[in-house]
Amino acid sequence: MASMEATELRELGQQFRVDSIRCAAAAKSGHPTSGMSAADLMAVLVANHLRYDFDDPKNPGNDRLVFSKGHASTLLYAIFRAAGAISDEELLEYRSFGSILEGHPTPLIPWVDVATGSLGQGLPIGVGMALAGKYLDRLPSRVWVLCGDSEMAEGSMWEAFEHAAHYELDNLTAIIDVNRLGQRGETMVGWDVDVYRDRAHAFGWEAIEIDGHDVEAIERAYTEAASTSGKPTVVIARTIKGKGVKAVENQPGWHGKALDDPDAAIEELGGVRNIQVEVSKPAKGEAHRFAEGELELPRYELGDEVATRKAYGEALAALGGARGDVVALDGEVGNSTFAEIFAKAHPDRYFEMYIAEQQLLAAAVGLQARGWNVFASTFAAFFSRAYDFIRMAAISRANLRLAGSHAGISIGEDGPSQMALEDIASLRAIHSSTVLHPCDANQTAKLVAAMADTEGIVFLRTLRPNTPVIYDADEEFAVGGSRVVRSSDEDDVTLVGAGVTVHEALKAAEALEEEGIGARVIDLYSIKPIDADTLQAAAEATGRIITVEDHFPEGGVGEAVIAALANSDERPRVVQLAVREMPRSGKAEELLSAYGIDAEHIAAAARQLVSAKVAAS
Amino acid sequence: MASMEATELRELGQQFRVDSIRCAAAAKSGHPTSGMSAADLMAVLVANHLRYDFDDPKNPGNDRLVFSKGHASTLLYAIFRAAGAISDEELLEYRSFGSILEGHPTPLIPWVDVATGSLGQGLPIGVGMALAGKYLDRLPSRVWVLCGDSEMAEGSMWEAFEHAAHYELDNLTAIIDVNRLGQRGETMVGWDVDVYRDRAHAFGWEAIEIDGHDVEAIERAYTEAASTSGKPTVVIARTIKGKGVKAVENQPGWHGKALDDPDAAIEELGGVRNIQVEVSKPAKGEAHRFAEGELELPRYELGDEVATRKAYGEALAALGGARGDVVALDGEVGNSTFAEIFAKAHPDRYFEMYIAEQQLLAAAVGLQARGWNVFASTFAAFFSRAYDFIRMAAISRANLRLAGSHAGISIGEDGPSQMALEDIASLRAIHSSTVLHPCDANQTAKLVAAMADTEGIVFLRTLRPNTPVIYDADEEFAVGGSRVVRSSDEDDVTLVGAGVTVHEALKAAEALEEEGIGARVIDLYSIKPIDADTLQAAAEATGRIITVEDHFPEGGVGEAVIAALANSDERPRVVQLAVREMPRSGKAEELLSAYGIDAEHIAAAARQLVSAKVAAS
């Protein structure tokens, strides 16, 4: 390699600085000084090391370049201009409405795989990409991640360090731009770069310390990184924020601002340049593909007692047999989520992520960015640990399948720390999300299969306890649908449940029938998208709705139902049953009763609602 | 110290094992083998090192003991029995409904300060407690945190390591119970304890490696930890999971299960013991108190343009002058959230948490557990990084004040990674939460003062852009209230906004008035609790409501309003305006328009709604 010599590399670095200043000046905002510190690091990379086909960004043989310090977007866009991917005019539309060159990079740009801008995410996502390259695609591509030094304070970076070493990701290179200055002052480490070296070593990485403005040292470092085997490499580069422009160089107070006098700065840097970089293309090569077969989902007998989490694991293993693109991850609870069934069936496509939910999510994002169909599981409560990663995954336009087990108080004795009671709300609020909550094993199996073809962030909420199989194995369940489990022409009230509360609602309906109250029961297994038509029909038929959910009241099943009916002609009276206290440990039945979401409470609420309406009319 | 000798310490350790087995056997669940590995570590601690007054758990001079590995609750409860805090009968009610001895510890137990059970949280919370002890209380108390080795994979643990060293927390001792086995198999590190030592050193800690079953080595380690100055100490203890019972000792498959034959195991361990431990009490001493004065909140002139985030910083600084218990933290964005105003006014009560939002939240939880009134700020979007910590803080019954700036698309050019658009939904769903979203500076100041006396998790959502001051500085704003900003007796429609959308709604109302449509405008600054009475009155008066929010549609202002009216006699037709696409970079005004939440779109929706109702009637 080494096609570009030092003199020209230095010029290219200056061009990147100038372009960073120019586009920020045009936008009157941005983080030019953060791009200027890393300009030489990127000049050497794109000129002499990166293998990337800008005309074929999905080529599995491409290297991947991730700007974990997403605020340095001016630098990334300067690279795109130098590579001929965008014009100078496009560069100068930076941050303007309609431009794909947003304040922080997103995959609206064809050459950006994942959104960054929430710090500490690019490196763990890079781990996922490197896992894909080494163990799934099995191609000699490399993953390069430009990290800021401020973001080294994020624990997620150390999750990435640990996992990358554990999986011996010698195809991953992290480049830390140690410019010392964060948004409001110095980092905890400052320029004491040996600290980063010692930490990297302690986490099992190769570490190379360099002056990040010495293009020859950078060149040597990347060459060494590429030839290091059995472990990832971090290039720790001491740099100067705002390098090259005296007015801002190594000065606090210049984070996230366009320069005061861009023309003078550009002159100081030697003026505008138009160096074009011929980025090397990857060698030809096909990504590995796994065997595929017929889909044979598990089938459960009506009346059997099966936990939906168990059905998840069995269905996922079946799906993996049918589709070679399916990959599964779990956060060290695979014997609880039953991801272990997939792991045993398809060990080559399973990655243990240990108790590191941020890395779990980030790896999933990285894997899907390389075209894999990823299912990630842990307790539903613990996806909250990675909520920012899920939020950013939506901005990444990622397709992710998340399975959260042990939802709600029905888990029993383990207590509230293990109970997901905010998951429906928080995941409904994610843009592009789908939220599914099956109540029986056959339904779960069908939905697991549907997840693989559903775009966006798809969340499946499963249960710890066994629940009776109430649907035939041949029934179909579409995303966005619901099931009227029980109805008559003379229903007085509609009971809407999901998951464990469907079974409680059915019991309540039986009890109510004996008292002459007709109760329709809707299984709202697809909470988002929601089946507004069926709810509307029930509203018209019964005029009263009781929603019941094993979740806190805000943002869950009840509010989803109420919102779906709010702009309709017929707006029924709705009573929301939900968990309204902080639950305690106890048996599942005790808790369902104590917190007012069991059959008895549903029936009581129905009696009251029906009599109130009668009294009012 | 060292009042208990080795022989008796070993017996105490056996007692802890036996009691772990006994209470798990009674409950038929629990994690006895996880308690058994750490039994000797805890025997030496409580007998010879811990200074704690069980009769006065809030004594600021008390040491703090945090079980970061909260699943080892059987061991903690065994300690409580040995200390005479609970009876044997109480111990055996473990995990039964109504017992305070839940599956994972919570502060329902008087001697537990914070809930654990989501791994990786106890140590960062301990950092907050140690900050309080060293810099605020200024008492010679110590914080002891028992950590599992599996949870060392959580990045939050390394955030804690970095921050504890940065703040020279020599009053903090972490004890890692390296029993090698996680829930489903071996950890990434296994028994290679030197790895933990090297990492601890690289993060600036003193590290002591020991055999975790050698009580004399444990004794020496704690003595050394207590005498180490200028840095925290970690005791890395190689242990055996299930130690002492051959059937489970060092065996996989025994995580989170009661033993098959508890009687035989107890016999193998030498039977039930009744050793009582006289835990040393702390020396007398008063916690430091900071000066207090009169509260003089900032006052803003009607019509001035002031960002609510700026008003937050100024009000918080004023509050700090009035109340000596107020402490502030920020995640390296204090010049954006304006926490820096507090930092300059009260440097002794401000802690920079850098870009480590999990540690930010955990420190807040630890500080409030020691009685401090904590305000923590970052971008509202980045509280999502610590969502699991907020969820657990609710289980901790914590009082936390969170201020999230840069909410919604009104931030403009920085793009979606920096925009909070799920924060109202996710934080409404937190049990005990309050969600406030002021629209002007005077209102913000009043709400900041109110936050300090509001229990639970209080979230204040502030704006990046300036907004006009519309309320007089003497107006009062209660949590749970709202403000009818504009109304007449002949309103045709009600517009409900919060934050930036209040101003858009007001502009829309002016435009509508010119067309003869009367629009009531409600400023729903308290989204939770919600002012249902005012909404109900508006529903009755106008029959039609338009909600408008700078947030995704799910779980936000719109659903909160709709849910508040769902079980009322008068259920208006409600149209929800919200951000329904993934936003892009652009100017604030461009984005408010493009995503349909500006005055023009509100007015259009109102026209349509009013004409539809007219047509229908």
Mutate which of B354, B409, B548 to test chain A, going by most A C-beta atoms within 10 A? B354
Per-window interface: B 110-139 vs A, CB < 8 A = 115-120
Distance between B4 CA and the closest CA of chain A, angstroms: 34
Cβ atoms B560, B428 nearer than 8 A: yes
User: According to the model, what pLDDT value does residue B554 have?
Assistant: 98
Contacts of B179 (CB under 8 A, 6+ apart): B34, B37, B38, B148, B149, B239, B240, B241
Q: How many of the other CB atoms lie within 10 Å of CB of A476? A: 9
ipTM of the modeled complex: 0.98
What order of strands is seen across the sheet that includes strand A493-497? Answer: A483-486, A519-523, A493-497, A544-548, A573-577
% of residues, chain A, pLDDT over 70: 99
Contacts of B24 in chain A (CB under 8 A): none
* Active-site residue, from B219, B357, B504, B549: B357
Considering only the C-alpha atoms of chain B, give the largest distance between any 2 of them, rounded to a whole number of Å: 90
Give dist(CA A425, CA A143) in Å, integer.
35
Contacts of A575 in chain B (CB under 8 A): 567
For residue B263, list its beta bridge partners. none
- CA A58 vs CA A64, A112, A452: distances in Å: 10, 10, 20
**pLDDT digits 0-9 by tens, A468-496:** 999 999 999 999 999 999 999 899 999 99
Q: Does A87 touch chain B (CB under 8 A)?
A: no
Report the Cα–Cα distance between both ends of chain A, in Å, rounded. 84
What order of strands is seen across the sheet that includes strand B350-352? Answer: B350-352, B326-330, B373-379, B400-405, B457-461, B433-436, B526-528
Q: Which two tokens stand for residue A364?
A: 């999933």
Considering only the C-alpha atoms of chain A, give the largest distance between any 2 of them, rounded to a whole number of Å: 90
Q: CA neighbours within 13 Å on the CB side: how many for B549?
A: 27
**What mean pLDDT is predicted for residues A188-211?**
98
Distance between A5 CA and the closest CA of chain B, angstroms: 36
| Among the partner residues A30, A198, A388, nearest to B382 by beta-carbon distance | A388
Nearest alpha carbon to residue B462 among B475, B479, B447, B474: B447
Note whether B183 contacts A432, CB cutoff 8 Å. Answer: no
Give dist(CA B252, CA A159) in Å, integer.
24
Burial class (CB in 10 A: 0-12, 13-18, 19+), A168: middle
Q: Helix/strand/coil (H, E, C) string of B163-182?
A: HHHHCCCCCEEEEEEECCEC
Contacts of B481 (CB under 8 A, 6+ apart): B525, B526, B531, B534
Write down the mean pLDDT value for chain A: 97
Classify B274 as helix, strand or coil: coil
Give dist(CA A42, CA A213) in Å, integer.
10
Phi, psi of B335 (to 5 degrees): -80, -5
Phi, psi of B511 (to 5 degrees): -65, -40
Q: Does A162 touch chain B (CB under 8 A)?
A: yes
Contacts of A267 (CB under 8 A, 6+ apart): none
Name residues of chain B where pLDDT drops below 50: 1, 617
Q: Is B357 one of the annotated active-site residues of the chain? A: yes
| Among the partner residues A120, A355, A387, nearest to B119 by beta-carbon distance | A355
User: According to the model, what pLDDT value does residue B614 have?
Assistant: 53
Cβ atoms A196, A207 nearer than 8 A: yes
pLDDT at A607 over 70: yes
Cβ atoms B505, B555 nearer than 8 A: no
Q: Which two tokens stand for residue A205?
A: 């990485």
Note whether B155 contacts A155, CB cutoff 8 Å. Answer: yes
Place of tokens 């509230």: A416
| Among the partner residues A96, A153, A415, nearest to B103 by beta-carbon distance | A415
| Among the partner residues B332, B388, B395, nearest to A416 by beta-carbon distance | B395
* Nearest chain A residue to B198, by CA: A202
Give dist(CA B330, CA B405) in Å, integer.
11
Q: Does B438 touch chain A (CB under 8 A)?
A: no
Taking each helix axis from N to C end, the angle separating B357-369 and B387-395, rounded to the nearest 10 degrees, works out to 20
Note whether A104 contacts B415, CB cutoff 8 Å. Answer: yes
Give dist(CA A17, CA A43) in Å, integer.
10
Classify A402 as helix, strand or coil: strand
pTM higher than 0.95:
yes
Give dist(CA A550, CA A308) in Å, integer.
15
User: According to the model, what pLDDT value does residue B1 have?
Assistant: 45
Nearest alpha carbon to residue B237 among B192, B178, B289, B182: B178
* Nearest chain A residue to B590, by CA: A97
Give dist(CA A101, CA B498) in Å, integer.
30
User: According to the model, what pLDDT value does residue B341 have?
Assistant: 98
Taking each helix axis from N to C end, the angle separating A441-451 and A308-322, rounded to the nearest 10 degrees, works out to 40
Give dist(CA B198, CA B204) in Å, integer.
10
Q: Which two tokens stand for residue A421?
A: 């009671």
Nearest alpha carbon to residue B492 among B513, B511, B510: B513
Contacts of A566 in chain B (CB under 8 A): 562, 573-574, 576
**What mean pLDDT is predicted for residues A258-265?**
97
Place of tokens 């806190």: A552
Taking each helix axis from N to C end, the angle separating A122-131 and A155-166, rounded to the nearest 10 degrees, works out to 20
Contacts of A95 in chain B (CB under 8 A): 413, 415, 585-586
**pLDDT digits 0-9 by tens, A458-469:** 999 999 999 999
* Nearest chain A residue to B115, by CA: A417
Per-window interface: B 265-304 vs A, CB < 8 A = none
Distance between B610 CA and the closest CA of chain A, angstroms: 13
CA dihedral over A239, A243, A249, A251, signed as positive or negative: negative
Cα B288 to its chain centre, rounded Å, is 24
Cβ atoms A494, A523 nearer than 8 A: no
Per-window interface: B 559-578 vs A, CB < 8 A = 559-560, 562-563, 566-569, 571-576
